[in-house]
Amino acid sequence: MNNNHILIGHGSGGKLTHQLIEDVFVRYFKNSYLNTLNDSSIVKTSAHTAFTTDSYVIDPLFFPGGDIGKLAVSGTVNDLLVSGSLPKYLSTGFIIEEGFPLADLKRIVLSMAEEAANAHVEIVTGDTKVVKKGQCDKIFINTAGIGQGIETVSHLWGKPALSPGDKIIISGFLGDHSAAIMAARNNISFEKPLVSDVAPLNKLILPLFEKFGNSIKFLRDITRGGLATILNELCSNSGFGINISEEKIPIRQEVSGFCEIFGFDPLYLANEGKIVLAVENGHAGAILKTMQSLPFGEHSEIIGEIIHSNCGKVLLQTNIGSHRILDMLSGEILPRIC
């Protein structure tokens, strides 16, 4: 094995480890916090601080629209944003299989650096472990994030205070990420390629906070479990129901076709660049118009509303005029999609 692959010695803490840190991680993540190479970084935070962590084991590592590095940064940044905080700092931990190509590691780290710059966050600390071949599937990444609580949307830090008539808005097409991963994993090609929607959503969410913060009652990114699961979580303890219209839900034709072929319901598929909001009825139109003018929100739609009846249930009005109850996702549709 040559120097173009990860060696078990890269995880020893010795010369190879230091060389890997300097040549790859410090090279691409460099900033005043990380460059000290201490065991911890001292960072400034506000009185209210958001803290999140997530791990990424996606297969394949590289897919149309992104890679595991872009996903790791975007996923953690978005978790901070939808919690009502301004993302500031990230940590990252790598578990790498012996023999992993160094070129692929550099590609992933560079992707992370680019997305961190896009999201205006700094990667300030990290860790690397190398395991023997066969003890890990190529590479796993953990990220943790710290965000500064945004006082003007502090109501998002707690339980949502919903009211009948509040509108449900989603920021665009559902199912893009899951469909793209499944197609890439199984070498399935379509006339129009399926592309993941993975992206950090600062440019969509922060302007909404600034202009409509008080009118946004609930905000989540639509990841594992899909839209149906998030809406079930929203109404389960609210004392209200939710009614949504199938006709209003944006789904790409190629994703719809993919779901028909493989028997999936796009309402349960994961996304990595979409959000769902519950907003005051009186400001819903203005919020929708603003979202449609912002990056990553061009295809936003009002898809339903909070209702008095059917407490704790999500009702879907189908295209043929009937209603069906949308339950929370049961089981796993697509493993290792993030």
Task: Tell me what pLDDT residue 1 has.
Answer: 39
Write the pLDDT tens digit of every residue in 224-259: 889 999 999 999 878 899 999 999 999 999 999 989
User: What does the mean pLDDT of the chain come to?
Assistant: 93
Domain boundaries, the chain: 8-149, 155-326
Query: What are the beta bridge partners of residue 241?
Result: 307
Whether residue 60 has a cis bond before it, omega within 30° of 0: yes
Task: Tell me what pLDDT residue 2 has.
Answer: 55
Q: Which amino acid is at 139?
A: I
Task: Measure the CA–CA gap between 311 and 192, rounded to whole angstroms.
Answer: 41
Least confidently predicted of 27-41, 119-133, 250-264, 297-311:
27-41
The CA-atom distances, in angstroms, between 331 and each of 224, 313, 328 are: 11, 19, 10
Report the CATH superfamily, name and number, of domain 8-149. Answer: PurM-like, N-terminal domain (3.30.1330.10)
Write the pLDDT tens digit of every residue in 278-298: 999 999 999 999 999 999 999
Q: What angle do CA 338, 29, 8 make, to 5 degrees?
A: 70
| Arithmetic mean of pLDDT, 104-127 | 97
Q: Is the pLDDT of residue 39 over 80?
A: no
Fold of 155-326: Phosphoribosyl-aminoimidazole Synthetase; Chain A, domain 2 (3.90.650)
Query: What are the beta bridge partners of residue 326?
Result: 314
Helix (H, G, I), strand (E, B) or coil at 277: strand
Q: CB atoms < 10 A from the CB of 155, how many?
A: 15
Task: Tell me what pLDDT residue 12 has.
Answer: 72
Q: Decide: pTM greater than 0.85.
A: yes
Task: Measure the CA–CA gap between 106 and 130, rounded to whole angstroms.
Answer: 15
Helix (H, G, I), strand (E, B) or coil at 11: helix
